[in-house]
Amino acid sequence: MKKYTLYISLVLVSLSWGQQTPAAKQNQSILIIGGTAHIGNGTTQEHSMISIIDGKIQYVVDGRLAKPAKHDVVITVNENHHIYPGFIAPNSTLGLVEIDAVKASDDVREMGEMNPHIRSIIAYNAESLITETTRPNGVLLAQITPRGGRISGTSSVVQLDAWNWEDAVVKADEGIHLNWPRSYVRTGWWAEPGGIEANKEYENQIKAIQDFFSLSSNYLSGDRKNKDISLEAMNGLQAGTKKLYVHADGEKEIRDALLFKQKNKIAKMVIVGGYYAFKVADDLKQNQVSVLLKRVHDLPLLEDEDVNLPYKNAALLVKKGVLTALQNQGDMERMQTRNLPFYAGTCAAWGLTKEEALQLITSNAAEILGISENYGTLEHNKSATLFISEGDALDMKTNKVTHAFIDGRGISLDSRQDELYERYKGKFEQQKK
């Protein structure tokens, strides 16, 4: 009897810690009246009126000039509220690691060097407790990306309210991630750092990449009778059905990656990180290569650099016409995903307008990830993936999300943090008595 009782209690505890139940498909029409709609393409609509039917946006108009049609649900917000497209987190490991110290919950990397066939999407845990912490800040979509090796694998784009990875997927296997070698290496370690010296293996490492791409090209142009899954996964890079995401920060590395693109006839390339991409911005624009920029809230790479360079980087690229979005790779990257809108807010304080900064995590990100047909802006016939905030969503002091929708489904904004807040709030109230 005691064993039975204990079993039930453990089940109840585990259920109480589980992710919120995904919302059902939209079955009622929704009309949002009032507030300022931030379209996501650089424009706004004050006193907006937004119609959502069958998961799609029917229209976004000036509510003062249009008579509202009858809808099943009407949400009226005041003029100080703001409506935004769902924010997008590229190059994310959400759902691939739950607890860093528990190896069994870590699916972020695979053994080996050349792994284009590794599919991050099948390891994605849609019930991750970390995922639900992103939604209250408006982050509703993410690109799930593997790490490790020279070629890490393929990424996929998901929406962040689903039962499983099959339900979550928005665009599967949309790109291959290549970790470009560094032309320099640091000596020493963090407690006793040394200097910076040239990477003597740099050219050999690039040759190994080129050899693999040449091998895959020859294989794909042949009869392909003897199937090789790693080489099969490379299919689409030259046709443009897949993107090549090159993780590189240095100026030389980025220039070499552009030469690699031309030599191998890669149709679509994206630089991930791109800390010094502003130095080759003209070449990036000419080659139609976009940038998923290194984390904004970070220190400069070199000790003698402008301490504010990470904040200015986005403006330097945008002003040059390079398609740019923000990503969050780095220390505690999964937990920090919720801060993505505030990175954009920092960019707005260092050279961009608020609407330009907003594009870094909406329309620009959607275009880079190849989902702009349905996501990234508040426009007719696009997915009704959006949220309402009582304040400026790029400002951590005023952002307070009251409603959020993914494909027209009103999703939960509760999280484990809310439960803990209520729990310990009750504790202190008890102590006052």
Q: Is the pLDDT of residue 12 over 80?
A: no
Q: Which domain CATH number covers 325?
A: 3.20.20.140
Give me the pLDDT at residue 19, please: 67
Tell me if 422 is assigned to some domain.
no
Average pLDDT over residues 21-49: 96
How sure is the predictor about 152, in pLDDT bands with cuts at 50, 70 and 90?
very high
Domain boundary (46, 63, 84) is at: 84
Tell me if 365 is assigned to some domain.
yes
How sure is the predictor about 1, in pLDDT bands with cuts at 50, 70 and 90?
very low
Check: CB of residue 196 under 8 Å from CB of residue 205.
no
Tell me if 213 is assigned to some domain.
yes
pLDDT in tens, 392-410: 999 999 999 999 999 999 9
Backbone angles phi, psi at 327, to 5 degrees: -135, 175
103 or 27, which is more confident? 27
Q: Which of 111-115, 174-178, 193-197, 325-329 is predicted least confidently? A: 193-197
Give me the pLDDT at residue 423, please: 87
- pTM equals 0.92
Tell me if 211 is assigned to some domain.
yes
Q: Is the pLDDT of residue 2 over 70?
A: no
212 and 326 inside one domain: yes
Check: CB of residue 49 under 8 Å from CB of residue 35.
no
Give me the pLDDT at residue 15, please: 39
Give me the pLDDT at residue 316, please: 98
Strands (DSSP E) found in 151-307: 151-159, 169-179, 184-188, 193-198, 243-248, 269-273, 290-293
pLDDT in tens, 271-302: 999 999 999 999 999 999 999 999 999 999 88
224 and 359 inside one domain: yes
Q: Which residue has the tokens 């409603």?
A: 403
Average pLDDT over residues 306-310: 95
Closest CA to 169 of 120, 226, 109: 120
Give me the pLDDT at residue 7, please: 39
197 and 326 inside one domain: yes
Average pLDDT over residues 156-177: 97
Cα–Cα distance measured from residue 247 to residue 141, given in angstroms and rounded to the nearest whole number: 21
Q: Which of 12-21, 242-251, 303-312, 414-423 is predicted least confidently? A: 12-21
pLDDT in tens, 77-129: 999 999 999 999 999 999 999 988 888 888 999 999 999 999 999 999 999 99
Average pLDDT over residues 120-141: 95
Look at residue 335 and give its three-state secondary structure: helix
pLDDT in tens, 46-74: 999 999 999 999 999 999 999 989 999 99
Tell me if 424 is assigned to some domain.
no
Check: CB of residue 296 under 8 Å from CB of residue 316.
no
How sure is the predictor about 417, in pLDDT bands with cuts at 50, 70 and 90?
confident
The count of domains in the chain is 2
Supply 118's token pair: 């590794």
Domain boundary (62, 84, 106) is at: 84
79 and 123 inside one domain: no
Tell me if 152 is assigned to some domain.
yes
Backbone angles phi, psi at 187, to 5 degrees: -100, 165
Tell me if 133 is assigned to some domain.
yes
78 and 203 inside one domain: no
6 or 44, which is more confident? 44
Q: Which residue has the tokens 């008595």?
A: 433
Give me the pLDDT at residue 415, please: 82
- Cα-Cα-Cα-Cα torsion 109, 104, 11, 338, nearest 10 degrees, comes to -30
Q: Which domain CATH number covers 39?
A: 2.30.40.10
213 and 351 inside one domain: yes
152 and 276 inside one domain: yes
pLDDT in tens, 344-373: 999 999 999 999 999 999 999 999 999 999
93 and 233 inside one domain: yes
- Domain ranges, residue 62: 21-84
43 and 109 inside one domain: no
Helices marked H in 23-177 — which ranges? 165-168
40 and 166 inside one domain: no
Q: Is the pLDDT of residue 180 over 70?
A: yes
Tell me if 243 is assigned to some domain.
yes
Backbone angles phi, psi at 429, to 5 degrees: -65, -35
Q: Is the pLDDT of residue 257 over 60?
A: yes
Q: Is the pLDDT of residue 203 over 80?
A: yes
Backbone angles phi, psi at 406, to 5 degrees: -120, 115
98 and 78 inside one domain: no
Q: How do beta strands 409-410 and 139-144 pair? A: unpaired
Give me the pLDDT at residue 431, please: 82
Check: CB of residue 360 under 8 Å from CB of residue 55.
no
71 and 189 inside one domain: no
